[in-house]
Amino acid sequence: MSQPDIEIYIKEADFDAVHAWLSQAIGSSGEVQHKGQTRQFLLADRIPAVWTEKAVGRWHSLWLQSDATPWPDDITCAQAAHHALGIAVRCVPGSWQEADGEATADDWLEVKDGSVNPIVWRI
């Protein structure tokens, strides 16, 4: 079962490179609306995407607001982004909700140098 949305954090990424990767992986995207540090756009005319530059330090957030992506979960998307872009990518291990509490809020996965490792990331 797919997650309801996908969110990954990409280290020091170039928006144009990420946008090109998404366009190839999902389909051509529509117009990009740029508001401050945020860019919003549609992928394949049905998947809303939000890019936030430097959401956490040098890490940019990519939020795909749909379960209709080619990836069933955050980690699969993170691995695809890492493979395509060759840079470090982070995500939560599963679909975290605020109701889950703070006990696991700092548990993340990092895809780097071709491997996936659990990390603690206090953001």
Residue type, 62: L
- Tens of pLDDT, residue by residue over 107-119, are 899 999 999 999 9
Q: What is the mean pLDDT of residues 51-64?
A: 97
Among 28-32, 77-81, 84-88, whose mean pLDDT is lowest?
28-32
Nearest of 75, 77, 81, 58 to residue 118 by alpha carbon: 75
pTM of the shown model = 0.90
Q: Is 36 left (phi over 0), alpha (psi -120 to 50) or beta?
A: left
Nearest of 88, 92, 89, 90 to residue 104 by alpha carbon: 92
6 against 100, higher pLDDT: 6
Contact (Cβ atoms closer than 8 angstroms) between residue 46 and residue 26 = no
